[in-house]
């Protein structure tokens, strides 16, 4: 079996992080290694972790025009 790829999640809502973890539960080669509400906080938490990638929610402004 290949190693597990660890990802970091940037999200300030715990329920969203739990949803990502639930989706990844079906992917044995992926796991959420860390999560934080901001990118700087995630980077500070994961300075010693080797992550495959980081997932961040992108805020989209909803203008009227």
How many domains does the chain divide into?
1
Residue 44 lies in a domain: yes
| Domain extent at residue 29 | 5-56
Q: How many CA atoms lie within 13 A of 10 on its CB side?
A: 15
Residue 17 lies in a domain: yes
- Could you report the per-residue pLDDT of 3-40, keeping only the tens digit for each? 888 888 889 999 999 999 999 999 989 889 889 999 88
We report the CATH number of the domain holding residue 52 as 3.40.50.2300
- Whole-angstrom Cα distance, residue 9 to residue 39? 9
Residue 15 lies in a domain: yes
Q: What confidence score (pLDDT) does residue 31 get?
A: 87
For residue 2, the tally of other CB atoms under 10 A from its CB is 6
Residue 45 lies in a domain: yes
pTM of the entire predicted model: 0.69
Residue 61 lies in a domain: no
- The DSSP code for 58 is P
Residue 64 lies in a domain: no
């Amino acid at each position: 079996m290949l190693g597990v790829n660890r990802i970091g999640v940037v999200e300030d809502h715990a329920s969203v992080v739990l949803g990502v973890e639930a989706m990844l539960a079906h992917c044995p080669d992926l796991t959420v290694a860390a999560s934080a509400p901001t990118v700087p906080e995630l980077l500070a938490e994961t300075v010693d972790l080797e992550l495959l990638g980081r997932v961040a929610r992108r805020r989209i402004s909803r203008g009227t025009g």
